Structures are given as C-alpha cells and as structure tokens.
C-alpha cells in the first residue's frame, strides 16, 4: 500500500489515544490506554503527555491517570452551534419528556455508528440514561436501525457486508434477518429494540429528517423491559412522531 505523504501517522495515533480516554467511563492509566488500542506503552505515554501539555487532558499525579479536560468542550461547542437544528431538537426532546415522563435521546450517524449528542431528562426514577458521546453500531439499537433503514440501498448493502457485532442473543447480526427488519422499519416509520443492545432494556426510535431532507439522526427512548412493554413502546412511538410532526421547518 502506498503511503500518503500528506498524512501523519503520529497525529492519527494521537487521536486514537485521545478517543480512548474520551470513551472510558473512568480516568485511564497510560498502560490501560496502550492496551485498549494496541499501542506501545512508552509511545502511548508520550502522546498522552503531549496532549496534556496542549491542554486537552488532565493528569492525576496520585492515581497516575488521564482524563478529559474542560478545554475539549471548546472544540465541541463550535461544532454543536453550527447545526441549525439544535435549538429545535432541544424543544422537541423537552416536549417528549414532558409528555411521557421519560428521558429521551437524540443520536446522529457517524459512519457505521450512532453518537448521542443531545438528551432531555424525564421524571421517572428508574431510567436507562446514556451519556452524551455514547456510541453504538447502527444495527444494534433502535435509533441506529431507524437511521440505517432510512439510507439508500447501496449504503445498507455496504454496511451489511461488514462485521455485525453481537451485543446480546437478540442482536440482529444476520444480514438477511436485518434486511427484513429494515423493510419493516421503512413501512412503519419506527424502530424497536427488544433487548438487542442490552439484556433487560427495550427501546423505541423514530428517524429524524433534518433541514437537508436527509435522515442522519433519530430520537429514541429506552427503559427497563418491565415497564417498556411492546404496548408502551407503541405509545411512546406515537408521541415521538407527533412532536416531530409539529416541527416547523424554516
């Protein structure tokens, strides 16, 4: 393979290091980061210290661990502000939460995954509440399937040619079975997740068509299967569809 002289492999590895820390629920040691991404520990440590020097990581001298700094938010703030839908989406999420009492999430497609970018908390005490920045493969969640089903056939077939990670015994990992699920989602305009991402958790999602007319995101609600029965998910889907339908495109 010919190496592209316009790209720096060191910079690419540094971003992988930063992402490893960002995706960890707890501060990480240099060894932990190195092992998680398959990088030499000494090289990884140097990259971590360089990123710390740039102000994007904090280093705890007692625990010898690295964590994200507040400066990272400066990068995200401008990106979030550029999206004209943000304020409108926030109003929709708050309306859905007010109507249902449930915490709802807005996720966007990022390559073969979804990333959670906005949420509104409900009043229920027992909830499934994902954190901003949480990622998941498109086939493994209700919102991912809702987005995937809204793409063109060539995108879908290309996605199905890849490895379909299994999270539970209910995850749609067989291409032909997933094709059938996609057709069902297209007919109904809603996607369901019955313990496909996590045992004991059910979800419902509706695709969100933005100002461009394309579906690159979706709104979802997740909860314990004891409360999120099939009938309850249908009710929640109706609320999500109704609030999205009220949106005035300007």
For residue 28, count other CB atoms closer than 10 A to its CB: 23
pLDDT over 90 (residue 238):
yes
Q: Do 156 and 217 belong to one domain?
A: yes
Q: Do 47 and 125 belong to one domain?
A: no
Report angle CA 172, 97, 128 to the nearest 5 degrees.
45
Q: Has residue 77 been placed in a domain?
A: no
Please tell me the predicted confidence (pLDDT) of residue 80. 62
Q: Has residue 207 been placed in a domain?
A: yes
Please tell me the predicted confidence (pLDDT) of residue 3. 56
Q: Do 124 and 19 belong to one domain?
A: no
Q: Do 146 and 224 belong to one domain?
A: yes
Q: What is the pLDDT of residues 181-197, one digit of tens each?
A: 999 999 999 999 999 99
Final residue before a domain boundary, out of 42, 69, 96: 69
Q: Do 17 and 110 belong to one domain?
A: no
Q: Has residue 61 been placed in a domain?
A: yes
Q: Do 45 and 142 belong to one domain?
A: no
Q: What is the pLDDT of residues 118-165, one digit of tens each?
A: 999 988 876 777 888 889 999 999 999 999 999 999 999 999 999 999
Domains held by the chain: number: 2
Please tell me the predicted confidence (pLDDT) of residue 239. 97
CATH code of 30's domain: 1.10.10.10
Q: Do 120 and 230 belong to one domain?
A: yes
Q: What is the pLDDT of residues 41-50, one digit of tens each?
A: 999 999 999 9
Q: Has residue 3 been placed in a domain?
A: no
**Sign of the C-alpha dihedral computed for residues 221, 241, 230 and 180 taken in this order:** negative
14-18 mean pLDDT: 94
Q: Has residue 116 been placed in a domain?
A: yes
Looking at residue 140, the DSSP 8-state letter turns out to be G
CATH code of 231's domain: 3.30.450.40
Q: Has residue 31 been placed in a domain?
A: yes
Cβ pair 201, 141 in contact under 8 A: no
**What domain range is 220 assigned to?**
83-245
Q: Which strands, in side-by-side order, build the sheet including 113-120?
A: 135-137, 113-120, 104-110, 215-224, 201-209, 191-194
Cβ pair 220, 203 in contact under 8 A: yes
Q: Do 149 and 229 belong to one domain?
A: yes
pLDDT tier for residue 87 given thresholds of 50, 70 and 90: confident
Q: Do 168 and 65 belong to one domain?
A: no
Q: Do 150 and 229 belong to one domain?
A: yes
Bridge pairing between strands 104-110 and 57-60: unpaired
Q: Quote the pTM value.
A: 0.69
Q: Has residue 78 been placed in a domain?
A: no
165-184 mean pLDDT: 96
Final residue before a domain boundary, out of 69, 97, 114: 69
Q: Has residue 191 been placed in a domain?
A: yes
Write down the number of H helices and E strands in the chain: 9, 8
Q: Do 135 and 215 belong to one domain?
A: yes
Q: Do 126 and 238 belong to one domain?
A: yes
């Amino acid at each position: 393979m010919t190496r592209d002289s316009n790209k720096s492999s060191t910079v690419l590895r540094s971003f992988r290091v930063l992402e490893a820390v960002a995706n960890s629920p707890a501060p990480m040691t240099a060894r932990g980061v190195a092992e998680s991404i398959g990088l030499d520990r000494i090289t990884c440590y140097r990259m971590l210290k360089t990123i710390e020097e740039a102000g994007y990581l904090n280093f705890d001298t007692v625990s010898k661990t690295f964590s994200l700094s507040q400066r990272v938010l400066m990068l995200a703030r401008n990106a979030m502000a550029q999206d004209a839908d943000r304020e409108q989406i926030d109003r929709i999420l708050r309306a859905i939460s007010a109507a249902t009492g449930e915490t709802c999430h807005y996720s966007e497609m990022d390559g073969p995954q979804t990333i959670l970018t906005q949420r509104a908390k409900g009043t229920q005490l027992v909830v499934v509440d994902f954190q901003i920045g949480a990622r998941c493969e498109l086939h493994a969640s209700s919102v991912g399937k809702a987005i995937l089903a809204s793409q063109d056939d060539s995108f879908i077939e290309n996605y199905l040619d890849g490895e379909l990670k299994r999270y539970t015994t209910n995850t749609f990992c067989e291409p032909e079975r997933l094709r059938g699920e996609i057709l069902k989602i297209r007919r109904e305009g809603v996607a369901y997740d019955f313990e496909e991402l996590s045992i004991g958790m059910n979800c419902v999602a509706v695709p969100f068509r933005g100002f461009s007319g394309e579906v690159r995101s979706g709104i979802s609600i997740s909860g314990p299967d004891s409360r999120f029965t099939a009938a309850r998910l249908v009710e929640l889907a109706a609320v999500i569809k109704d609030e999205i339908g009220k949106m005035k495109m300007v």
